[in-house]
Amino acid sequence: MNVSTFDFNNITSNDEFFRAFEQVFELSNRTISDLDLLWETVTEGAIPLPQAIEFVNLNESGRRRFGALILLFEEAEEELVGLLRFNVQA
């Protein structure tokens, strides 16, 4: 299983996360500008699966700030049973 880690010491907004996600998964043909496009990208085969996605350095304040992203990946993990694993670390 591939592991992709996103360090929230270096990510301060959803837009920065979207850009980092595009770079990590080399999505040169796709621009992610909102949560709907991110959902489509994750669940419709635009990233290699199986995949583990880890958010690191995300404290309680950051978890509140990026709650929509966390929820999206938790729901994608349920949708893609066995193909996507998601973890958040402080």
Helix, strand, coil share (%) of the chain residues, nearest 5: 45, 20, 40
pLDDT of residue 28: 86
**CA atoms of 49 and 43, how far apart (whole Å):** 10
Which residue ranges in the chain fall short of pLDDT 70?
Answer: none
Q: Which pLDDT score, from 0 to 100, does residue 6 have?
A: 98
pLDDT of residue 80: 97
Tell me if residue 84 falls in helix, strand or coil. Answer: strand
What confidence score (pLDDT) does residue 59 get? 94
pTM: 0.94
pLDDT score for 9: 96
